[in-house]
Amino acid sequence: MFLDRVKIWVRAGDGGAGAATFRQEAHVPRGGPDGGDGGRGGSVHVRVDPGQTTLRDFQYRHHFKATPGGRGTRSRRHGKAGDDLELVVPPGTAIFDDASGELLADLVAVGQSAMVARGGRGGLGNTHFKTATHQAPKHAQKGEPGEERWLRLELRLIADIGLVGLPNAGKSTLLAALTAAQPRIAEYPFTTLEPNLGVMDLGEDDGRRPTIADLPGLIEGASTGAGLGHAFLRHVERTRVLVHVVDGAARDPEWSHGVIPDELLAHDPGLLDKPMLVVFNKLDLAGAAEAWPDFQAARRADGLPVVAIAAATGQGIDQLRTALGGLLPEADQLDAPLDATGVVVHRIDAMGDGFAVDREDGAFRVRGRRIERLAAQTNFEVEESAERFQRELDRHGIDAELRRAGVAAGDTVRIGATELEWEAQPWEDR
Ligand SMILES: Nc1nc2c(ncn2[C@@H]2O[C@H](COP(=O)(O)OP(=O)(O)OP(=O)(O)O)[C@@H](O)[C@H]2O)c(=O)[nH]1
Ligand SMILES: [Mg+2]
């Protein structure tokens, strides 16, 4: 199956926890803090691999996780970093955040890659928290959680030439005549159910190796969902040149010719700005040979280039090759990606250091990237760590904001995945 849209879940590795250990030496009963830092969690990356043509790798597997960072240990030994995870996709894959619909990256060229989930930072060991007045901190940070999200991957094939036309016009036969590809060909419509790709040889003296995509046949109404072609119309968006294949032996080739431009226009008017070559096929059949003079005259009147061929016998294929060579850009441009928007990676960091307090079914919810991260990195079972966190709430004015919102002793306060019970502050008792 040709898979060009998938939803996957990615999760980066959590950072490892920092250690809260103390030096142990024979003659020193309790030495200074020596807890190492936790290792960074592995991140998830998506990279373009030219060997891929579909998103088939994601058909059955939808969950991908990078490994967590190791814990820090005594003697200032740092935890090992988690391994990154790399997913490979074909050129032309756009990556969206599924929840927000935001485009995270558009990977068009070989070698491009994007980070889609960042590994959590490792927690700091207690050595970092030693101060002149606090020589034996028991506080160490937990690792930062790795990012996780649902992604939608969408493939738009990148080919230099796109073959479009009604079902049974001979598109697949033409692909086979122009390239080494061996697509399925049959005397009934809708033979091609998924795009076929081939690489064209323009002759020894020509260094260009344009790619051709043979697409499933389009029918009237394709742009609004009729037939199969609809799902594939977007694959035409990233071709440089369109070849419109018309069955010359059809009952009314002139009518057939009119259908496709209407569908392309309805899908995306920009498609008609691409250079288009009309190919009148099946010239070996008597009906086609008869219809050709009128068809040719009509295209001349439209100002559209047209070539007559018989894809099945090879007649006219050389002229077609030459005509295509003339429509394609020079080699250096052909190698450059079409609309090389490159990687657009938008980091989602809506609030940064800011925060907001909301009511949430009887409890209080504090939102803010920085404070949520801090909460995730705090081990509330260690009193010293919990106190530190309380001081951070105070320092950033979150404490005051919660009180303005009406928080009282015993209330639940949620910060990220952390749930805290609000305790009366010493000064409240006064
Ligand atoms: N006589 C003759 N028959 C041809 C020629 N080109 C294609 N055909 C026949 O036309 C039929 C359809 O050819 P395909 O290449 O499968 O057509 P298609 O446009 O790919 O069709 P779909 O995939 O269904 O959209 C097959 O029976 C081919 O053998 C030609 O030049 N001459
Ligand atoms: Mg076909």
Q: For residue 388, what are the CA distances in angstroms to 382, 395, 428?
A: 10, 10, 19
274 with 308, same domain: the answer is yes
Question: Does residue 343 sit within a domain?
Answer: no
Q: Ligand 2 mean position to 215 CA, how many Å?
A: 7
22 with 146, same domain: the answer is yes
163 with 152, same domain: the answer is no
pTM score, two decimals?
A: 0.69
Q: How many Cβ atoms sit within 10 Å of the Cβ of residue 201?
A: 14
Question: Does residue 135 sit within a domain?
Answer: yes
288 with 422, same domain: the answer is no
**Ligand 1 in reach of 120 Cβ (< 6 A):** no
The number of C-alpha atoms within 13 Å of 118 and in the hemisphere containing its C-beta is 10
Question: Does residue 177 sit within a domain?
Answer: yes
**Which pLDDT score, from 0 to 100, does residue 152 have?**
95
Which residues of 331-407 form beta strands (DSSP E)? 356-360, 363-367
Question: Does residue 340 sit within a domain?
Answer: no
61 with 137, same domain: the answer is yes
Tell me the mean pLDDT per 10 residues along the chain, length 430. Answer: 85 96 80 93 90 86 96 94 94 89 81 85 93 89 94 88 93 93 84 83 83 86 66 81 96 93 89 93 96 96 95 95 90 63 42 72 87 90 90 86 86 91 60
Question: Does residue 346 sit within a domain?
Answer: no
**Which pLDDT score, from 0 to 100, does residue 286 have?**
95
275 with 420, same domain: the answer is no
**Ligand 1 in reach of 248 Cβ (< 6 A):** no
**Ligand 1 in reach of 170 Cβ (< 6 A):** yes
**Ligand 1 in reach of 418 Cβ (< 6 A):** no
Amino acid at 329: P
Q: Could you please report the per-residue DSSP string of 260-316?
A: HHHHHHHH-GGGGGS-EEEEEE-TTSHHHHHHHHHHHHHHHHHT--EEE-BTTTTBT
**Which pLDDT score, from 0 to 100, does residue 347 have?**
40
**Which pLDDT score, from 0 to 100, does residue 343 have?**
45
164 with 309, same domain: the answer is yes
Question: Does residue 246 sit within a domain?
Answer: yes
**Ligand 1 in reach of 173 Cβ (< 6 A):** yes
**Which pLDDT score, from 0 to 100, does residue 320 have?**
95
The secondary structure of the chain in percent helix, strand, coil, rounded to multiples of 5, reads 25, 25, 50
Q: How many domains does the chain have?
A: 3
Last residue within a domain, chosen from 135, 156, 177: 156
125 with 175, same domain: the answer is no
Write the CB contacts of 194 (distance below 8 Å, at least 6 apart in sequence): 1, 2, 54, 216, 232
**Ligand 1 in reach of 412 Cβ (< 6 A):** no
The pocket of ion ligand 2, defined by CB under 5 A, consists of 171-172, 191-192
169 with 315, same domain: the answer is yes
Last residue within a domain, chosen from 271, 302, 335: 335
**Ligand 1 in reach of 73 Cβ (< 6 A):** no
**Which pLDDT score, from 0 to 100, does residue 169 have?**
95
16 with 69, same domain: the answer is yes
Q: What is the CATH number of the domain that holds 362?
A: 3.30.300.350
151 with 242, same domain: the answer is no
Q: Ligand 1 mean position to 198 CA, how many Å?
A: 17
**Which pLDDT score, from 0 to 100, does residue 341 have?**
46
Ligand 1 atom closest to Cα of residue 167: 25
316 with 397, same domain: the answer is no
Q: What is the CATH number of the domain that holds 83?
A: 2.70.210.12
Q: Ligand 1 mean position to 54 CA, how many Å?
A: 25
Q: What is the CATH number of the domain that holds 262?
A: 3.40.50.300
Range of the domain at 11: 1-156
Give the mutation target among 185, 187, 220 for probing the ligand 1 site: most ligand atoms within 8 A of CB: 185
